[in-house]
Amino acid sequence: MSEKALTIWEQAQVRGVSRRDFLRFCGWMAAAAGIETSALGAVVKALDTKPRLPVVWFHFQECTCCSESFIRSSHPIVSDIVLDKISLDYTETLQAAAGKQAEEALHATMTKYKGQYLMLVEGSVPTGEGGIYCCIAGRSAMDILQEAAKDAKAIVAWGSCASNGCIQAANPNPTGATPIHKLVEGKPVINVPGCPPIAEVMAGTVVHLLTFDRIPHLDGLGRPKAFYSRRVHDTCYRRPNYDAGLFVDSFDDENAKRGYCLYKVGCRGPVTYNSCGIIRWNDGVSYPIQSGHGCIGCSEAKFWDNGPFYQHLAAFPGFGIEKTADDIGVAMGAVTAVGIAAHAVTTNFRKRKQIKEGIRDSEKAPGEGKE
Amino acid sequence: MSKAQIRRVYVWELPVRVYHWVNALCILVLVVTGYLIGRPVAIQTAREASFSYWFGTVRFIHFIAAFAFFFNFVFRVYWGFAGNRYARWHQFIPTKKSQWKEIVDVLKVDILQARAEPLESIGHNALAGFTYFLSFLAFVFQCLTGFGMYAAMSHAALPKLFKWIVPLMGGDFAVRQWHHAMMWFFILFSMVHVYLVFYHDYVEGRGVISSMAGGWKFIEKRGEVR
């Protein structure tokens, strides 16, 4: 790190980026962050005048797929941009430093930029057994999280692990894996779920923080509205097939070849909020549904527990993996029908006297009933 | 044994009867379309998607019926405070000791058939009333979860009011799952409900089936009842 912090534009100049490329980048990032054209000036101004945002990126219980996704962000400029334009001072998987130097870099940032640094967290934090399931440099993830969160400007929870626990928190959750927003108090936490999240969504979220110096609009589950306000289903190119009632029944049928809707083979598109249908993956090449596989709902909480993936209704809790609510319902319906039949039969025995009396009474002529 | 003198009692007022049949129709439509939405038939066809819209239509009917169901239910709640004694809210929520005693009696006489003597309630018996109260809770649950899911694809103000249920239940998937499971309550309820109406009409002969059309029940006069 240089003594006097360079602005992002200055930094770009040092690296030989032309003004034209820089502006192009600004436009692209504005688009990625879901910012409209009229606000493009604000993006350019921010990147022109602001120093790089100090960032620390933690890796707890995770598989690094979020980092992988991020550094593979399709637009060539994005990967370096976000890694260059922010000052990524600490990240276990990408930093050159190790051991003592890495820890020193982390603490230097935390003290020098107290209250100003952005904290990115990848992975959930184990709370079971005093948090021993995830330790870095001899300290538990819980300790590190609390220390770093205390002076952070904002926290971004990368991926499903950090935002809702993902596979670590799946039943029976042996390590007590807990998402970040449940552990941190008094700091804004932005959830960017997905396993992994789309690179452009991650970049867009950081750009928003960088540009406007405040957190983006969030929905009820703490996700940026710009990327998570619509269901995969709403933006799916196969949606007309859904409305037309044209469904794939099994993966090898004619309907699958025709590219019909994957709703019946378990597609979670209708219950999943993400931008896969719009931004897509790998430079906009494709996304799961386009490749013929239903969405598994990886950006939704508990998606591992809502299986099986190829079944539209989840297994009903407590009845084994193959039993859906419909199976239970049909069984209960059958039991009810048997109960009704049995009741109807016993009625004719037990209430026989009462019914007979009623019939006998009615056979008397009117007025004869007085005794 | 004396032959009972029969008197006519006006039990179900017109608004209650209209509510009942609108509700029955809505539930029938909602269950059929809801089941189809949960488990659509896969049609093998080479038609272009742009030429048909049957699934969209099924969903549309489901949503329309849901609105009708909701407002009908809201009206019934109001009528629970404005209607006659048989329609009032305390028929549904057992607050008195006598109501709890009647629940036990109904269980013994009508359900387990352990005792043979007939029972005396004119409107709902206490157990039926309480069951309807539980079904009202199921109505509320279906409205909350249904509109909660619908809010994501609607700009209307009403569904937006129920948006909070989705984060509360942990996402659309869970909401959808429970909304679907609760459908079976309505199916089972209807089976038992229809059977019991036939049962009561058959055993007691008070015209309980026709009472939901005309409003009248035929009750033995007091003092001359066996």
Beta carbons of A241 and A289 less than 8 angstroms apart: no
Say how many C-beta atoms besides its own lie within 10 A of residue B160's C-beta: 14
- Is B166 near chain A, with CB under 8 Å? yes
- Is A335 near chain B, with CB under 8 Å? no
| Chain A residues lying within 8 Å of B203, measured CB to CB | 347, 351, 354-355
* pTM, full prediction: 0.83
Domain A8-227 homologous superfamily, CATH:
NADH:ubiquinone oxidoreductase-like, 20kDa subunit (3.40.50.700)
Residue of B41, B50, B113 lying closest to A350 (CB–CB): B113
Full 3-state SS string of chain A: CCCCCCEHHHHHHHCCCCHHHHHHHHHHHHHHCCCCHHHHHHHHHHHHHCECEEEEEEECECCCHHHHHHHCCCCHHHHHHHHHHEEEEEECCCCCCCHHHHHHHHHHHHHHCCCCCEEEEECEEECHHHHCCCEECCEEHHHHHHHHHHCCCEEEEEHHHHHHCCCCCCCCCCCCEECHHHCCCCCCEEEECCCCCCHHHHHHHHHHHHHHCCCCCECCCCCEHHHHCCEHHHHCCCHHHHHCCCECCCCCCHHHHCCCECHHHCCCHHHCECCCCCCCECCCCECHHHHCCCCCCCCCCCCCCCCCCCCCCCECCCCCCCCEHHHHHHHHHHHHHHHHHHHHHHHHHHCHHHHHHHHHHHHCCCCCCCC
> Could A241 and B51 be called an inter-chain contact, meaning their C-beta atoms sit closer than 8 Å?
no
Across A66-75, A93-102, B193-202, least confident range: A66-75
> Could A244 and B166 be called an inter-chain contact, meaning their C-beta atoms sit closer than 8 Å?
no
Strand partners for A59:
A122
- Which residues 6+ apart lie within 8 Å of B106 measured at CB? B119, B125, B126, B127, B128
Q: Which CATH number fits domain B15-40+52-199: 3.30.870.10, 3.40.50.460, 3.40.1160.10, 1.20.950.20?
A: 1.20.950.20
Residue of A245, A332, A346 lying closest to B184 (CB–CB): A332
Could you say which architecture CATH assigns to the domain A232-291?
Answer: Irregular (4.10)
The ranges assigned to domains in chain A are: 8-227, 232-291
- Minimum CA–CA partner of B166 in chain A: A220
Residue A271 C-alpha, separation from nearest chain B C-alpha, in angstroms: 5
The ranges assigned to domains in chain B are: 15-40+52-199
DSSP state of B49: G
- Is A332 near chain B, with CB under 8 Å? yes
Residue B157 C-alpha, separation from nearest chain A C-alpha, in angstroms: 17
> How far is the C-alpha of B83 from the C-alpha of B11, rounded, in Å?
11
| Chain A residues lying within 8 Å of B113, measured CB to CB | 343, 346-347, 350-351
> Could A249 and B50 be called an inter-chain contact, meaning their C-beta atoms sit closer than 8 Å?
no
> Could A351 and B38 be called an inter-chain contact, meaning their C-beta atoms sit closer than 8 Å?
no
- Is A340 near chain B, with CB under 8 Å? yes
Task: Provide the residue-wise pLDDT of chain B in tens; the chain has 226 residues.
Answer: 445 578 889 999 999 999 999 999 999 999 999 999 988 887 777 778 888 888 999 999 999 999 999 999 999 999 999 999 899 998 898 888 888 888 888 888 887 777 767 777 788 888 999 999 999 999 999 999 999 999 988 888 899 899 899 888 888 888 999 999 999 999 999 999 999 999 999 888 888 999 999 999 988 776 544 3
Say how many C-beta atoms besides its own lie within 10 A of residue B60's C-beta: 13
Which pLDDT belongs to residue B2?
Answer: 46
